[in-house]
Amino acid sequence: MKAARGTLVFDGDCGFCTSSVRAMARLHIRAASVIAWQHADLGALALTPEQCTEKLQWIADDGSHASGHEAVAALLRANRPWAPLGHALLLPGISWLAAGAYSWIAAHRMSLPGGTPACALASQAPLPGADPQGQ
Phi, psi of 65 (to 5 degrees): -115, 150
Cα separation, 78 vs 87, whole angstroms: 10
Band (pLDDT 50/70/90 cuts) for residue 124 is very low
Q: What is the pLDDT of residue 111?
A: 75
Q: What is the pLDDT of residues 83-106, one digit of tens each?
A: 999 999 999 999 999 999 999 988
Q: What is the pLDDT of residues 1-57, one digit of tens each?
A: 444 689 999 999 888 889 999 999 999 999 999 999 999 999 999 999 999 999 999
E-only strand ranges, 1-119: 7-10, 33-36, 57-59, 65-67
pTM exceeding 0.85: no
Order of all β-strands in the sheet with 7-10: 33-36, 7-10, 57-59, 65-67
CA distances from 8 to 4, 49, 124 (A): 10, 14, 24
Cα separation, 23 vs 41, whole angstroms: 24
Cα separation, 43 vs 90, whole angstroms: 28
Cα separation, 131 vs 19, whole angstroms: 29
User: Alpha-carbon torsion 26, 30, 32, 38, what sign?
Assistant: negative
